[in-house]
Amino acid sequence: MIYRCTIELHDSLYFATREIGRLYETEAVLHNYALCYALGLVDSDRHSTTVSEEHTYRYFCPEQVPKYEEHLTPLNQQGIYITPARAVHHTSVLNTWKYANNNYHVEMEKTQKNIPSFGRAKEIAPESQFECFIISEKPLTLPKWIRLGKWMSKAEVRLEEFSKPRRSHSEFIFPYPLNPLDVMFSHQVLSYDTVNMPPVSLIRNVRMQGDYYEVAQLKIPAQIQYRFRG
């Protein structure tokens, strides 16, 4: 089953894709790792993707260390894959933040300096829309509302199921972003543009050779899974 997933922001979205001096910029792309967590697919009883207690994600994270391989491998086992999302349309807003360097000591010593500091965050504005694709072996139910980014911004989710996707094999172009680790083992990647963003930079406008599903005049790569080593 293949779904088109549309995500519409109801708050400003912020995460630091890149830092340019004091400017922290949010790229108009949603990484597929982040989407798996936001859509509730990780460590889920409903989707049969529970992980061992050692790597549990639902209730308590004992350390702030990403465990993408432990968390996303169960999605491979259930035949669930989400592509990164690109902006269908979006606008950006620039916010300035300031803070003062106030140092307090037990001895109540006089602070040596009080220099205001500032920075700017380029965020994605409310009403911006993103689009991605979900491939699933079983019918999928997702939450209507999710939270995204550093500020846990509210976003609305809509799903559209494609009927009877046709599978073929040839050279094709996929204009949406992809995680290169996920397609390099199943397809021959011929050319692409790079989107620099952590934790794994993405590629888009990808010309590749391999299996694909044809739906709504779009060719979506088939046989793709989450992979974590090049």
- DSSP-assigned letters across all residues of 27-60: -SEE-HHHHHHHTT-TT-TTTT----GGG--SS-
> What would the two tokens of residue 90 be?
């979006």
Model pLDDT, residue 33: 95
Model pLDDT, residue 96: 82
> Minimum mean pLDDT among 61-65, 156-160, 198-202, 215-219: which range?
61-65
User: CA-CA distance, 77 to 179, in Å (whole number)?
Assistant: 18
Residues 63-85 as b/e (b if ≥16 CB within 10 A, e otherwise) read eeeeeeebbbebbeebebbbbbb
Rg of the chain in Å (alpha carbons): 20
> Minimum mean pLDDT among 24-33, 51-60, 129-138, 145-154: which range?
51-60
Model pLDDT, residue 122: 86
In the structure, what pLDDT confidence band is assigned to residue 103 with cuts at 50, 70 and 90?
low
User: CA-CA distance, 4 to 218, in Å (whole number)?
Assistant: 11
Quote the percentage of the chain above a pLDDT of 70: 87
Q: What is the pLDDT of residues 146-183, one digit of tens each?
A: 999 988 999 999 999 998 889 999 999 999 999 999 99
Residue pair 218/169 in contact by the 8 Å Cβ criterion:
no
For residue 161, CA distances in Å to 1, 6, 25, 136 come to: 7, 11, 33, 11
Model pLDDT, residue 217: 87
In the structure, what pLDDT confidence band is assigned to residue 56 with cuts at 50, 70 and 90?
confident
> What would the two tokens of residue 14 be?
């912020």
